[in-house]
Amino acid sequence: RMSQKNETPAQANTTTAEQPTSTVSGNATPETPKKKKKVSKKVLAEAPNQTLTIIDNRTGGKIEVPIKNGTIQATALKPLSLRSYDPAYLNTALASSKITYISGSQGILRYRGYPIEQLAEKSTFLEVAYLLLFGSLPNTSQLQTWSSRIMSHTYLHENLLTLLKTFRYDAHPMGMVVSSVAAMSTFYPESNPALAGQTVFNDPKLRNKAIYRIIGKLPTIAACSYRHRIGRPYNQPVNNLNYIENFIYMLDHLQEKNYVPHPKLTKALDVLFILHADHELNCSTAAMRHIVSSGTDPYTGVAAASAALYGPLHGGANEAVLRMLESIGSVENIPKFLEDVKNKKKKLMGFGHRVYKNYDPRAKIIKKTAYDVFEVCGQEPLIKIATELERIALTDDYFISRKLYPNVDFYSGLIYKAMGFPTDMFPVLFCIPRAVGWLAHWIELLDDPENKIVRPRQVYLGEDKRDYVPLDERPKAKVSNQEVYWSDFSRRRNVSLGKSAL
């Protein structure tokens, strides 16, 4: 039986928490929960007794567990011979952090305390990057120094350029980015803990150097990957332009003199980079923390985080939105599509979020940015379907009751498409700014006294002890399907060898 006395939230505001928790018997069969009474987090924060009493109905064992910042230590369950089980981190805090605050119920996103709406309107990406990494907004001289150092690290080693050119002509740009960032670790042995010692990043100069290199070179790697994909020669950085202008220049410049990207496009991409710079402990950021907890270098960590971002459930989600809108076809087909969603025949992409149970604040900003882009690039035809789909869904009780609101992916893909980016560049455009968040979490982890190598436990459900059986005495193994497909290149050979060509 678990009885929650009080709870302390990470942020003492007026959003609501639920109590008490439902009773759980010793055989882990939950009883029907009682009606939950909502109590404000402020009340919980001010409660005098910040503990949780847990009684094990199997043994009668009882423990009193301290509550801190709305959490209990999972290791507090050890006296009861119990472990917490949370395979997708649905209710598990992996770390304490001061970087990004999210209130899913209120639709709030803040970087280091600053509302995302203010930063998107008034700031720039490099200024926000400084904020995320170092905790405060820079003054004029600090921003100039920071920007200058980032822009002086945009060039790639010739060997890295050679590596990029060895990829197939149709290589996915994100695969090229992941591989190239991983390769960067081999260029800087002084920053490799495996070579220079485990404490190498206790030196802030080496930390900062890695930060400058990664943030500075990622746009160059991304632009080279894009140019490779479309069969054009790579452009060298031009550091008389700002960070975003230089990136777009490397993407698009052919032989024009004094080419400067359109200011509205530069601003739109700057805003999108700000919105994507960090988002607390999402899949890729958790992967970054997991990897670097072993003491590896940040280049390898960012490559691993990029690989996590590559997945369609994370960085590729806005591409799925585009495909959904294209499949709807016209505004007239929206009611039928939404009925299919309700009947589990179709999926509604770009709505809902693991954290947000309200309108994603980033989606509101992106929607405005979309129309700014359309003014100069022409309106993306899918926007009519998107806005009408949003309007109908937000007036339908089915979606309202399930707290399904547009998220950041719903409009970002439309902007990228209107700007002429192919869909396989979408995760790359996500990766460049998110690297700042990954690096901020890397620094925070290095300085965290609770930092240890990440080593989750498991619940073993496999076979009990079995004795080895000689090969000629074994029955046929019962295993999963081990069939493979054959490529067209093997068809003639397989037929000639008497194998099935299918």
Residues that are catalytic: 314, 353, 409
171 phi and psi, to 5 degrees? Answer: -60, 140
Contact status, residue 393 vs residue 399, Cβ threshold 8 Å = yes
Contact status, residue 350 vs residue 407, Cβ threshold 8 Å = yes
Contact status, residue 174 vs residue 307, Cβ threshold 8 Å = no
Residue 409: CA count within 13 A, CB half-sphere? 24
Structure tokens at 477: 């193994």
d(CA 490, CA 169): 22
Residue 223 CB partners (closer than 8 Å, separation 6+) = 234, 235, 247, 250, 251
d(CA 498, CA 70): 66
Residue 312: CA count within 13 A, CB half-sphere? 7
d(CA 444, CA 451): 9
Residue 453 CB partners (closer than 8 Å, separation 6+) = 293, 294, 295
CB atoms within 10 A of CB 434: 27
Among 149, 161, 167, 184, smallest CA distance to 235 is for 161
Q: What is the dihedral of CA 172, 174, 179, 182, to 10 degrees?
A: 180
Contact status, residue 61 vs residue 80, Cβ threshold 8 Å = yes
The DSSP 8-state label assigned to residue 406 in this structure reads B
Cis peptide before 361 (omega within 30 of 0): no
Residue 412 CB partners (closer than 8 Å, separation 6+) = 272, 318, 366, 426
Amino acid identity of residue 289, one-letter, is: R
d(CA 4, CA 53): 7
Sign of CA pseudo-dihedral 334, 339, 343, 345 = negative
Q: Residue 55: in which H helix or E strand, if any?
A: strand 51-55
The DSSP 8-state label assigned to residue 30 in this structure reads B
d(CA 394, CA 405): 7
Strand partners, 30: 24
Residue 266 CB partners (closer than 8 Å, separation 6+) = 242, 244, 245, 248
